Amino acid sequence: MADVQQATPHRHDSVRLAVIVGALGVVFGDIGTSPIYTLQTVFSPDDPHPVPVSADNVYGVVSLIFWSVMIIVTVTYILLALRIDNDGEGGIMALIALLRRQAAAPGRRTAALLAAVGIFGASLFFGDSMITPAISVLSAVEGLKIVEPSFDSWVVPITAVIIVLLFTVQRRGTAAVGRVFGPVMIAWFLAIGALGITGITSEPQILKALSPTYAAGFLAGHFGIAFFALAAIVLAVTGAEALYADMGHFGRRSITRGWLFLVLPACTLSYLGQGALILKDQANVGSPFFLLAPGWARLPLVLLATAATVIASQAVITGAFSVASQAGKLGYLPRLRIAHTSESSIGQIYVPWINWLLLVSVLTLVFAFRSSAALAYAFGMAVTGTITITTLLSLYVARKRWGAPLWLIGGGAVLLLLVDLLFVAANLTKLVHGAWLPLAIALTAFTLMTTWQRGRRIITAERERLEGPLREFIDQIRDGTCATQRVPGTAVFLNRGKLTAPLAMRANVEHNHVRHEHVVIMSLETEPVPRVPQQDRIVIDDLGYAHDGIFHVIVRYGYLEAPNVPAALALLDPGTTEGQLDLDEASYFLSKIELRPGDSPTMATWRKRLFMATAHATADAADYFGLPRDRTVIMGSRVEV
């Protein structure tokens, strides 16, 4: 017994260590590869507002990078956002779900407005998902030019091949390769930290940049230069949203420990080392990250950087899958076909429609911009917008959830939002140089999601009118108004709620004049929580008659769960279902809606067309709900938008 008691803490330690290693491989890929391109972008001569290379400016820039990371990542995300969860889940969609829950209460217009702002933040994340693979892989492959300048013409083709391979293997899932992600990223952080130390030893004076006085002095004394530099300095915090979005997979403690004990020190050492290298010789400003390595180590470093950026890209692609899935379940996108790629890991999914859209978008960006420096101007806008919106929403939810004093929330809002808005303003100066791109992507995604949400409400209202009251329909069946013949077997009709009669059931009764011995009317509801406990999943209603064989079932799912109708039916107790259901031979009935543009002024004509075009991306209902094809009947009806 004593041996068991002694072994238990070690097992717990091993599990915690494995979770931290997993977090290092998924959560920190994007922010961990930022040192490759941040400092060289700040001092790039191709910048429309270049920062002159001088000792004072190097100290100021490195100090600004360090303190921006401390304020945005450590304070905003680690200390604030990661403490605000929706049943353990984080990310901007979790914040939206919390705000929607608050908006449902009377007089909560502010929460509803902020939820809409959150949708724009999620839209910006889609832009981030397109830009991250392009800029990350490009920046790593560009290291080949340092090894051999003649490789310059090969950078874009090699990048394109890597990106095609990356998106092609998405359908296989990340479960198999996930085990090696952590060790690769640990090797990456140890390598960049060690290279940073070698740079610092050559110019130890760079350590003075850790003092906030250099960041403040640079901003106050050279504001004209520092302000424009912020548009590139923000690249140091790219990927901060991933810390929050993946909280449900790894937990707050694992992410916090990985950040504080490895990622933050390694990135800080790398930035300090690069600054020292530039101080030593200003000619190193062209590629300070790769020039930190001795000649023999540069090719291995390029290979390691490429592996790290592929991992960073993998993480943000998976994040896009997750956001699209959650948005669909919350009613902002159509029901998309989703494949779960891991039986043991929650949240590892593959969304084909999103995958191929991202592939085309990323390749377009690579061939259009052709360098990480050109893409940097676009990247910063997506990052700053998402961070600012997350900060705003987190502060509001913290105030409502914790009841924190208004002066504390107000003071925090002034400090954090001032920093965020400075970055936003700086990136707005790059609008004509690429910053317009993520805004255009976000506006497109925002328009699509809000149009779908609005159109879905219109269709639901029209559908409810056609369906008619469910209770009244059941009464008509019982009193013989709708003459029917009762046939053996079980019929399951999927419906949007319990107030109206399913169109397929109404057609079966009114036109075929038959009803089954057991009729299950099932509604699936997505709750604004990640997962619903098994004991709270099912609610049964006999619809007023206990022995007619017709009853209603509500099945509740969280927005991270995949609905499965046969599995839900298997949970039913025969004592509550008015007899034993024949699930092995049950027939499933779906009501299919054919959309047509109408004359009613419900939406602008172009939005009606957009809604109908978006509807074509809707996943097959039988596959989505896990229905057996050979026992599924689809009955259609026409509805005008």
Judge whether residue 583 has pLDDT over 90: no
Q: What is the mean pLDDT of residues 485-514?
A: 84
Tokens 């965020």 belong to: 420
Residue 487 burial by Cβ neighbours in a 10 Å radius (0-12, 13-18, 19+):
exposed
Tokens 């699936």 belong to: 524
Backbone angles phi, psi at 152, to 5 degrees: -55, -45
* Size (the chain), residues: 641
**Token pair of 521 as six digits:** 């009317």
Q: Are the C-beta atoms of 334 and 328 separated by less than 8 Å?
A: yes
The phi-psi region of residue 331 (left if phi > 0; otherwise alpha if psi is between -120 and 50; otherwise beta) is: left
Dump pLDDT digits (tens) for 365-394. 999 888 887 888 788 888 899 999 999 999
DSSP 8-state secondary structure symbol assigned to residue 592: E
Dump pLDDT digits (tens) for 302-325. 999 888 888 878 777 877 887 888
pLDDT reported for residue 7:
41
Q: How far apart are CA 322 and CA 319, in angstroms?
A: 5
Q: What are the angstrom distances between the C-alpha of 245 and each of 27, 69, 221?
A: 9, 18, 37
Axis crossing angle, helix 223-233 with helix 372-402, rounded to the nearest 10? 90
Q: What is the mean pLDDT of residues 527-536?
A: 80
Q: What are the angstrom distances between the C-alpha of 174 and each of 91, 181, 346, 629?
A: 20, 9, 12, 29
617 pLDDT band, cuts 50/70/90, is confident
Tell me what the pLDDT averaged over the chain comes to. 84
Judge whether residue 101 has pLDDT over 50: yes
Q: Are the C-beta atoms of 484 and 509 separated by less than 8 Å?
A: yes
In 104-239, where does DSSP find H-type helix?
Answer: 109-141, 144-147, 155-168, 175-202, 212-221, 223-233
Q: Are the C-beta atoms of 390 and 121 separated by less than 8 Å?
A: yes
Dump pLDDT digits (tens) for 132-172. 889 888 988 888 888 888 888 899 999 999 999 888 877 77
pLDDT reported for residue 463:
77
Q: What is the pTM of this model?
A: 0.78
Closest among 313, 358, 360, 355 to 337, alpha carbons compared? 355
pLDDT reported for residue 563:
86
Three-state DSSP class for 336? coil
Judge whether residue 177 has pLDDT over 60: no
Q: Are the C-beta atoms of 478 and 548 separated by less than 8 Å?
A: yes
